[in-house]
């Protein structure tokens, strides 16, 4: 019974030390982890447009008719003037860059000249709205493929200032037209990557850049599947949920800002991961795939865990030695605490 008490103390001391070091390690770990392409339907000029985008497929020689609703959201009466401009993508965000009428003649994907809409000013009282008809007439000899324009509204009569600054002060909708026929649909993955190959902790961002080398706009949609070292799927991220178009002769970038392509798992994450991009586009559907690998090595947490293990092992060795020393000392003292010493015992006779 006397030897059991020190052993119990050793076990309790070891468990207490384990708890304290574990709490410290956890605290350090917690501290470490601590479209569409339009600029909106309401602008500074106080007009609201019903739909940011119109998408139509029209046969050569055919026509398409629709209405665009406008509303005065300012607190004063306003007169709005409609105007039509071709546009092309600006950069890789899909933001439209409207083309001045003089430059549109050489634009392969021009649509503005096919759109008929009244250019008469529309006077609206505050919070009042109206509908404006427009018609798209496609020439009989039109080649299959995409055509692109925007119907914009401003507070000044058309053509008062032939500059991009004047266009930027207008608000409206964009129109995407596909002329029926054997259009060229060719898209490729220009890039699929992560900003880094090595992470200490999530989140992990993804970038997918899709290049359209065809003659018509496409909408690449799909997923990013993420698998761990053992091939187990740990997450799936949707790509292009907003149905962003990639126009001909352009590149569209999908990332954390445009498509929320961010993987942020909870809990402890470590190892080598593989992300597979799988997209479909066109009609009939065509597939795009790409793959990227990256590492998540939480070295701070791993160092803390290693030091914790080393400390616990050294502590255990120290406690065991203390216990063995105590046993030896107790064993050496036991004869002196017992009966008489044989050397000092007296003999009779």
- The pTM score is 0.73
Among 29-43, 89-103, 242-256, 271-285, the minimum mean pLDDT is found in 29-43
- Which among 111, 135, 133 has a CA at the least distance from the CA of 122? 133
Helix residue spans in the chain (DSSP H): 4-33, 164-168, 299-333
Half-sphere exposure of 178 (CA within 13 A, CB side): 20
Q: What is the pLDDT of residues 270-320, one digit of tens each?
A: 899 999 999 999 989 999 999 999 999 886 666 777 777 788 888 888 888
> What is the CATH topology of the domain spanning 185-296?
Immunoglobulin-like (2.60.40)
Q: What is the pLDDT of residue 1?
A: 42
pLDDT exceeds 70 at position 344: no
pLDDT surpassing 80 at residue 13: no
Averaged pLDDT score across all residues of the chain? 82
CATH 2.60.40.10 residue spans of the chain: 47-179, 185-296
Q: Note whether 180 and 59 are within 8 A (CB).
A: yes
What are the tens digits of pLDDT across the range 125-146?
Answer: 999 999 999 999 999 999 999 9
Cβ 208 vs Cβ 254: under 8 Å: yes
Q: Percent of the chain at pLDDT above 70?
A: 77
171-197 residue pLDDT tens:
999 999 999 999 999 999 999 999 999
The DSSP letter of residue 167 is: H
Could you tell me the pLDDT band of residue 325, with boundaries at 50, 70 and 90?
confident
**Quick check: helix, strand or coil at residue 282?**
coil
pLDDT at position 38 over 70: no
**Predicted local confidence at residue 218, as pLDDT:** 97
pLDDT digits (tens, 9 = 90+) for 248-277: 999 999 999 988 999 999 888 889 999 999
Residue 2 confidence (pLDDT) above 80 = no
**Domain 47-179 part of CATH 3.40.50.300:** no
């Amino acid at each position: 019974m006397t030897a059991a008490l020190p052993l119990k103390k050793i076990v309790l001391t070891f468990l207490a030390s384990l708890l304290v070091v574990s709490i410290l390690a956890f605290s350090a770990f917690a501290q470490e982890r601590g479209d569409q392409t339009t600029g909106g339907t309401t602008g500074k000029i106080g007009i609201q447009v019903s739909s940011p985008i119109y998408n139509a497929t029209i046969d050569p020689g055919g026509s398409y008719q629709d209405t665009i609703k406008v509303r005065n959201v300012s607190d004063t009466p306003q007169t709005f003037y409609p105007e039509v401009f071709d546009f092309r993508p600006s950069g890789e965000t899909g933001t439209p860059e409207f083309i001045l009428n003089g430059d549109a003649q050489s634009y392969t994907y021009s649509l503005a000249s096919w759109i008929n809409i009244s250019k008469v000013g529309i006077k609206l009282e505050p919070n009042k709205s109206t509908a404006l008809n427009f018609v798209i007439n496609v020439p009989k000899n039109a080649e299959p493929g995409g055509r692109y324009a925007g119907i914009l509204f401003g507070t000044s009569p058309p053509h008062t200032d032939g500059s991009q600054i004047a266009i930027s002060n207008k608000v409206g909708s964009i129109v995407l037209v596909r002329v029926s026929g054997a259009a060229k649909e060719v898209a490729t993955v220009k890039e699929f990557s992560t900003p880094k190959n090595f992470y200490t902790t999530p989140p992990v961002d993804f970038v997918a850049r899709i290049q359209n080398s065809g003659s018509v706009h496409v909408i690449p949609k799909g997923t990013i599947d993420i698998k761990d070292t053992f091939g187990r799927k740990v997450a799936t991220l949707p790509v292009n949920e907003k149905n962003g178009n990639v126009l001909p002769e352009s590149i569209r970038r999908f990332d954390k800002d445009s498509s929320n392509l961010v993987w942020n798992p909870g809990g402890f994450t470590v190892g080598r991961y593989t992300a597979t991009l799988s997209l479909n586009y066109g009609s009939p559907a065509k597939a795009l795939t790409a793959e990227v690998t990256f590492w998540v090595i939480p070295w701070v947490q791993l160092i803390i865990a290693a030091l914790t293990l080393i400390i616990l092992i050294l502590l255990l060795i120290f406690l065991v030695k203390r216990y063995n020393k105590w046993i030896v000392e107790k064993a050496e003292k036991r004869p002196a605490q017992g009966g008489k010493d044989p050397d000092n015992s007296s003999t009779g006779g």
